[in-house]
Amino acid sequence: MSDENVLKIVILGEGRVGKTSILSKYFKKKFNEGEKSTINPAFYEKAVNYNGKTIQFKFWDTAGQEQFNAISALYYQGAVGALLVYDVTIFETFQKVENWVRTLREAVGKISLLVVGNKFDISDKAELDKNSQAVNSYCSKENCSHMYTSAKTGYNVDEAFQSLINTVLNKVVSSGNSGGGNQRRGKRLEIGEHKKKEKEKKGCC
């Protein structure tokens, strides 16, 4: 299969939000309650027929590197889409999505995004309602969709992946641009880089 028929999707988010569990539920139809943090690089493949062509999607897991606030530029290189995952029971993990998107934009430019709030099965409706304005406002600003998912029950998992796949096919394949944006090589990208710089500007005390 030629490189132009292989599309890369990255899965991003803080540790323990359920990225690997979502991938496992979608590709293996399994959920492990005691799923450990990913420690080895991994990707899943899915072939999709589009206008008579076979398009191979590769979904990359972060291999636990988010725990060290740094991901090799190789992880982002060539990506045309990203699934941003946060834990609906810990709103701070959604607030960190902005850092992940910013770092992603620096690496590959503008690509297709989908933000998902995972662990919907144990969510509190009052909390969801309370945070919905911030979530909707951010997704509107980034021109991306938002969905709630549950890797445990399977709620919206298939729909989330299909939504992102469709968006990528419509934006990337239809336009004939199968590569990521302005790819940068050999740089190590710090997830908390911008926040650190902001603090340094303000100084201490």
- Which tokens go with 165? 């796949």
The more confidently predicted of residues 60 and 197 is: 60
Write out pLDDT tens, residues 100-120. 999 899 999 999 999 999 999
Give the pTM: 0.82
Distance CA 46, CA 44 (A): 7
Domains of the chain and CATH, by start = 3-202 (3.40.50.300)
Write out pLDDT tens, residues 49-101. 998 999 999 999 876 556 555 576 778 899 999 999 999 999 999 999 999 99
Distance CA 28, CA 42 (A): 14
- 180 CB-near residues (< 8 Å, 6+ apart): 8, 76, 77, 78, 79, 80, 107, 108, 109, 111
Which amino acid is present at 149? T
Which region, left, alpha or beta, applies to residue 65 given φ > 0 means left and ψ of -120 to 50 means alpha? Answer: alpha
- What's the confidence (pLDDT) of residue 74? 78
The more confidently predicted of residues 188 and 49 is: 49
